[in-house]
Amino acid sequence: MVAMRQPARSTAHLPLEVPAEWREGLESNVLAPLARTSWRYFAWIGFLAVVIAWAVVMYVHQLQTGLVVTGMRDRISWGLYIISFVFFIGISHAGTLLSAILRVVKARWQLPVTRMAEFITVVALMVGGLFPLIDLGRPDRILNMIWYGRWQSPLVWDFLAITTYLTGSAIYLYLPLIPDFALCRDRLGPTAPAWKRGFFNLAAAGWTGSAVQRRALDRAMTIMMIVIIPVAVSVHTVVSWIFAMTLREPFNSTVFGAYFVAGAIFSGVAAIIILMAVLRRVLHLEEYITINQFKALGFFLLAMSLVMVYFNASEYIVTGYKMEAGAPFHFHDLLVGYLGPYFWFYLVGGLVVPALIITFPRTRTIKGIVFAAVLVLIAMWIERYLIVVGGFRVPLMPYTARHYGPSLTEWSMLAGAFALFALIISVFAKIFPMVSVWEVVEHRGPEPGEEVLEFPSFGSTDAQAPEVAS
């Protein structure tokens, strides 16, 4: 990334040399949602609660009847649940990984969005981790995973990798939150209700901002950001291995681990862009999250789309050239058959169009970049659908290939998962500052219109234009 070449400001320049009013403004803007709540917020929470309740009702019905209420059957034995599992775990990737890599290289443009990125990781992991449980035929026996767990099983690897990643991401989210909790304690504490005051007190962990504490925090964050990178990579690799460890033709591939990691980062960056746009609007953070952040992430998205093109080419050209048994069926499905429309939407709408939107300066606006991110997110969900359903459809024996269509129960569960995702983010936005105030103050200073990044501008001079509004 170009951002890596930017000289970072020293982290030790204390006391702060930012104007007092700017800092005041930032603090009160970021903390405002934590102090006030409008009726619209409750209406939104109520709506999400209804969707989740509906999913719970459908799940209870599934528990009572069995998985026959889904569209899955013996020959396509995994469906929308596992697709959504892979999708959510994918989304979780960009957050921590991105923020850790950028912190390691001391880039500073991303500081206002690291908090959101880390939130996405934790919440997506919590939601995505539910899907394998929803998918179980006997969830009542889940403890067998502990009593009889076997190291040889890819599912056990998943279980371990995801719990490790969740723990690590939660710690990594919490560490930079400590000074902000202290800020909440000091600024909001006196007027907040008792429970909130108690919570801020506890969460701030006695932070005073002394030099010793700062050094300790700095060291802890450095360790976590280095540890979290290999953990994140390993998580999506083992997620891909629940497929790649089988003998089925489209799954039987050594590139799957890397392919899934790239896809995970790709969809995760798209998710961050979307969440960033939403929170920016809802929490009135326009001053701190500007076109700069969108452009930077947009370029990252562009780079990842090229990586995805590369992986698709290596996967499909290598298997398509040899046309082993099963491959002709699979290619027919993807190119002109049952899955054709989805496959072409994925290739064109998910890889080419977003890349073009970001490449041309005319469309490289906040709206354009968010639109590209939405396309990518939809396409990446479809990509997982193609992998799972397309893979299971290839007949293993002389039988007629089966069709799969998710049932109402499965769609309800997916809707419930998105609602849960939004609910957790909404609730967290009320308890945690969504922008890392102290880091922004320390590293960035009051230059909201400043062009932090120098990108090649493809024949236009918009690089200096301070576009703030979308």
Partner 1 sequence: MNSAELDPDDSNTGPPGTVPALARGVQRRRILRMAGSALFAVPPLAFGARAWLSRAPASPLEAMARMSSAQAANGRLRRWSMVIDLRSCDGCQRVGKPPQCTAACIEGHFAPQPMEWIQVYEQELPGNGTRFVPATCQQCQNPPCTNVCPVGATFSTPEGPVLIDQERCIGCRICMAACPYDRRFFNWATPPQPVEALGMKYEVEHQAPAIRGTVMKCDFCPDMARAGTLPYCAQGCPNNAIYYGDLEEDVATNGKAVIQISRFLSQNSAFRLNEEYGTEPRVYYIPGAGEAVGRDSSKRGRLATVWPWKKVASGSRTWSR
In the complex, the residues that contact partner 1 under the rule CB under 8 A are 65-68, 72-75, 77-78, 132, 135-139, 141-142, 144-145, 147-150, 152-156, 159, 242-243, 245-248, 251, 392, 395-400, 402
Sign for the pseudo-dihedral over CA of 273, 275, 276, 281: positive
Which residues make beta-bridge pairs with 73? 76
Listed in sequence order, the DSSP H helices in 323-452 are: 327-335, 340-344, 353-359, 366-393, 408-431, 437-443
Contact of 81 with 415, CB cutoff 8 Å: no
Least separation in angstroms between CB 52 and partner 1:
24
Distance, in Å, from the CA atom of 265 to the CA atom of 271, rounded to the nearest integer, reads 10
Least separation in angstroms between CB 61 and partner 1:
12
Q: Is the peptide bond before 112 cis (omega within 30 degrees of 0)?
A: no
Nearer to partner 1, 39 or 399 (CB): 399
Distance, in Å, from the CA atom of 111 to the CA atom of 120, rounded to the nearest integer, reads 15
Nearer to partner 1, 157 or 207 (CB): 157
Q: Would you state the structure tokens that stand for residue 346, as one six-digit string? A: 């994925």
Nearer to partner 1, 365 or 407 (CB): 407
Give the angle 352-353-359 at the CA atoms, nearest 5°. 90
Nearer to partner 1, 26 or 86 (CB): 86
Least separation in angstroms between CB 418 and partner 1:
24
Which residues make beta-bridge pairs with 46? none
Nearer to partner 1, 65 or 457 (CB): 65
Residue 169 half-sphere exposure toward CB, CA atoms < 13 A: 33
Least separation in angstroms between CB 85 and partner 1:
12
Nearer to partner 1, 40 or 138 (CB): 138
Nearer to partner 1, 38 or 400 (CB): 400
Q: Kindly list the distances between the CA atom of residue 357 and the CA atoms of 1, 275, 341, 353, in Å, as whole numbers in the listed order.
A: 19, 19, 22, 6
Nearer to partner 1, 325 or 469 (CB): 325
CB atoms within 10 A of CB 457: 12
Distance, in Å, from the CA atom of 466 to the CA atom of 277, rounded to the nearest integer, reads 17
Nearer to partner 1, 73 or 106 (CB): 73
Contact of 413 with 58, CB cutoff 8 Å: yes
Least separation in angstroms between CB 156 and partner 1:
5
Nearer to partner 1, 65 or 222 (CB): 65
Least separation in angstroms between CB 392 and partner 1:
7
Least separation in angstroms between CB 421 and partner 1:
23
Least separation in angstroms between CB 137 and partner 1:
2
Name the amino acid, one letter, at 228. I
Of the candidates 218, 235, 197, 228, the one whose C-alpha atom is nearest the C-alpha of residue 431 is 197
Of the candidates 414, 343, 407, the one whose C-alpha atom is nearest the C-alpha of residue 83 is 414
Name the amino acid, one letter, at 152. Q
Nearer to partner 1, 254 or 400 (CB): 400
Reduced 3-state DSSP string for 199-251: HHHHHHCCCCCCHHHHHHHHHHHHHHHHHHHHHHHHHHHHHHHHHHCCCCCCC
Least separation in angstroms between CB 404 and partner 1:
12
Tokens 């009160």 sit on residue: 28
Nearer to partner 1, 197 or 248 (CB): 248
Contacts of residue 293, Cβ cutoff 8 Å, sequence gap at least 6? 109, 110, 112, 113, 276
Contact of 106 with 450, CB cutoff 8 Å: no
CB atoms within 10 A of CB 160: 15
